[in-house]
């Protein structure tokens, strides 16, 4: 009996458990992506609602002065008083923010299950993402999208482990074992 057989069986058992752990970890971690995006969209919608409310207040103020928002913006831009001129920038930034948030929300909500992660990353607002992460609550996904992300996570982490860790380590050990084997001269040359 080889003295290393019990050690090899222990390593095989640990490796089997590690495979299962990596599968579960990949599935659980990646399945949280749709939940994070959903919580991000809720927060994005709140920012959009607030920006629209502010823009509506500015439009009402312009209307009470007998102007459109664009006319009020042009009027404040032309003012000689620097404080009033800066108000024009606030009006433009508010309108731009509403357009940007509305476009991001529509793009993410309208994206297919395959496009969504790429659209999400392209349209990501760092401030909203950070605020979402600070209050993120993991959840058990019960949607087709959650299952798809779980499967991708399982394959991604298991593939990374097998081709990035396990295979190179086994190859290195096999090469080391080959170097340690005594070389046997070919038979029949005597």
Interval 103-111 mean pLDDT = 96
- Residue 99 in 3-state DSSP? helix
In a domain, 42, yes or no: yes
Whether residue 95 lies inside any domain: the answer is yes
Dihedral angle sign, alpha carbons of residues 130, 132, 138, 143: negative
Joined together, the tokens standing for residue 63 give: 């209307």
Q: What are phi and psi of 137, to 5 degrees?
A: -120, 115
Is residue 106 a part of any domain in this protein?
yes
Tell me if 100 is assigned to some domain.
yes
Does residue 86 have a pLDDT over 90?
Answer: no
Residue 36 lies in a domain: yes
The rounded distance, in Å, linking the Cα atoms of 176 and 2 is: 19
**For residue 53, what are the domain limits?**
22-154
Structural domain tally of the chain? Answer: 1
Residue 51 lies in a domain: yes
Query: Helix (H) and strand (E) counts for the chain?
Result: 7, 0
Report if residue 189 sits inside a domain.
no
Residue 138 lies in a domain: yes
Residue 174 has pLDDT above 80, yes or no: no
Token duo for residue 100: 């940007």
> Chain-centre distance of CA 164, in angstroms?
22
Q: What is the mean pLDDT of residues 164-178?
A: 78
State the virtual CA torsion across 145, 150, 153, 159 in degrees, nearest 10.
-120
DSSP assigned state of 111: S
pLDDT tens track for 8-60: 677 777 777 887 888 888 888 888 888 999 999 999 999 999 999 999 999 99
pTM: 0.69
Instruction: Pick the closest to residue 23 from 157, 148, 152 (CA basis).
Output: 157
What is the per-residue burial (b if ≥16 Cβ within 10 Å, else e) of 96-130?
Answer: ebbeebeebbeebeebeeeebbebbeebebeebbe
Q: Say which residue the tokens 């209050």 belong to.
A: 135
């Amino acid at each position: 009996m080889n003295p290393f057989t019990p050690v090899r069986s222990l390593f095989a058992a640990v490796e089997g458990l590690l495979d299962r752990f990596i599968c579960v970890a990949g599935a659980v971690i990646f399945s949280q992506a749709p939940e994070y995006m959903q919580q991000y969209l809720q927060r994005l919608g709140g920012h959009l609602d607030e920006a629209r409310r502010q823009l509506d207040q500015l439009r009402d103020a312009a209307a009470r002065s007998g102007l459109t928002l664009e006319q009020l913006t042009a009027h404040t831009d032309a003012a000689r008083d620097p404080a009033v001129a800066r108000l024009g920038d606030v009006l433009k930034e508010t309108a731009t923010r509403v357009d940007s948030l509305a476009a991001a929300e529509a793009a993410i909500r309208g994206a297919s299950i395959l496009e969504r992660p790429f659209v999400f990353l392209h349209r990501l607002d760092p401030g909203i993402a950070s605020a979402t992460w600070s209050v993120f609550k993991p959840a058990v996904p019960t949607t087709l999208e959650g299952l798809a992300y779980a499967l991708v996570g399982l394959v991604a982490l298991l593939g990374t482990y097998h081709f990035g860790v396990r295979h190179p380590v086994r190859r290195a050990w096999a090469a080391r074992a080959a170097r340690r084997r005594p070389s046997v001269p070919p038979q029949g040359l005597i």
